[in-house]
Amino acid sequence: MKIKASTGPYESAADYLRHRYEIPEDLPQLPLEDEPFTAVWQETSGKAVLDFLANEFDLPAFDFDWERTGSLRITFANTLGGRLPVIMTADHQDFCNLDALLNARQAAQEIPLTVNAFTMQTRAPGVARHRVLLLNRAPYSNIPAEVLGLSGDDWLDRSHRLRQRHECAHYETLRIFGGMRNHALDEILADALGQIAAFGNFDANRQRVFFGLTRGKNTCTGRLSFYCRDLKESDRPLIYQAVDTVLDTVADEVNGLLAKKADDTALLTTLAGTSLARRLELLD
């Protein structure tokens, strides 16, 4: 699939597809050591989460209207980039409240119901520059359970595992490779590791559902469109087509590595180190 470069104020489709991460010849010892801020966080649950945020970081947690304080949790995720605090909610308004609280906003902003996770660098003074995963318990990519042939509770459990591993993958590319982007390659990488955590494999058709793609069409009705918003509108169908084309190849790569008992490091470096453009070239 050949895509010509374009000129103008937007990133070209060709440049977009060339994005990849440089994989060091000698990787550091993994997992990396925890970042220093991690030591001040602690696991807690229920209303104690708000007490902890108020007492430890002087955050005005009680200034917000909370819906389900008993469902709030702070845990830790073990990643290749070190441990990371995870704050979990079970209500979208509480998710919005925590986003505002950790970023020193006095009121919650409206966040689309389809958005239920952030890998954030906090801005509030008492907790500034901490990296935190903020996760809300909701169906992944706003996909109903019946679309995947699952019960509601099963899908919520799998969604949580998928969402947490997805966000951990972004943190891993940031710490190990020096960056993370709102980009189709990063989302394929993160969803692949998330699918493995939730389902034990990577399925290309399942990924098309998560992205809002239909096989063989260059249209998008889901979240992949968000990761193409810096492209000209006329270029976006090229990316939808490219992603649809490479997903089966990625599934073969990932499931082949799983069959060989590859570890998370091998999965991460393989997915991050090969651009979508290169995968398209290999198909020609």
- Same domain, yes or no: 160 and 115: no
Residue 144 lies in a domain: no
Say whether both 263 and 163 belong to one domain: yes
Q: How many residues does the chain have?
A: 284
Q: Are residues 153 and 271 in the same domain?
A: yes
Q: What is the distance between the alpha carbons of residues 136 and 12, in angstroms, rounded to a whole number?
A: 34
The answer to whether the predicted template modeling score (pTM) of the entire model surpasses 0.85 is yes
For residue 113, what pLDDT is reported?
Answer: 83
Counting residues of the chain whose pLDDT is more than 70, the rounded percentage is 96
Distance between CA atoms of residues 130 and 119, nearest Å: 10
231 and 272 both lie in a single domain: yes
Clarify whether residues 155 and 28 are in a common domain: yes
Asked if residue 229 belongs to a domain, the reply is yes
**Is residue 259 in some structural domain?**
yes
Distance CA 132, CA 126 (A): 14
> Are residues 184 and 280 located together in one domain of the fold?
yes
Instruction: Evaluate if residue 4 carries a pLDDT over 60.
Output: no
Q: Does 25 map to a domain? A: yes
**Domain total for the chain?**
2
Which tens digits make up the pLDDT trace of 82-110?
999 999 999 999 999 999 999 999 999 99
Q: What is the mean pLDDT of residues 38-61?
A: 96
Q: Has residue 23 got a pLDDT over 70?
A: yes
Q: Is residue 263 a part of any domain in this protein?
A: yes
Residue 57 lies in a domain: yes
Same domain, 131 and 86: yes
Q: Are residues 206 and 163 in the same domain?
A: yes
H/E element holding 133?
strand 131-136
pLDDT tops 60 at residue 155: yes
120 in the same domain as 190? no
Q: Clarify whether residues 174 and 279 are in a common domain.
A: yes
What integer pLDDT is reported at residue 9 of this predicted model? 54
pLDDT of residue 284: 80
Are 28 and 45 members of one domain? no
Which one-letter DSSP state was computed for residue 220?
Answer: B
Q: Which residues of 178-196 are buried (b: 16+ CB within 10 A; e: fewer)?
A: eebeebbbbbbbbbbbbbb
Residue with tokens 């060339």: 18
What's the pLDDT score for residue 133? 98
Lowest pLDDT segment from 3-7, 121-125, 257-261: 3-7
- Which pLDDT score is estimated for 86? 98
Full residue range of the structural domain in which residue 97 is found:
41-138
DSSP string for residues in 157-211:
HHHHHHHHHHHHHHHHIIIIIS---SSHHHHHHHHHHHHHHHHSS--HHHHHHHH
pLDDT for residue 277 is more than 50: yes
Domain boundary among 117, 138, 159: 138
Residues 180, 116 share a domain: no
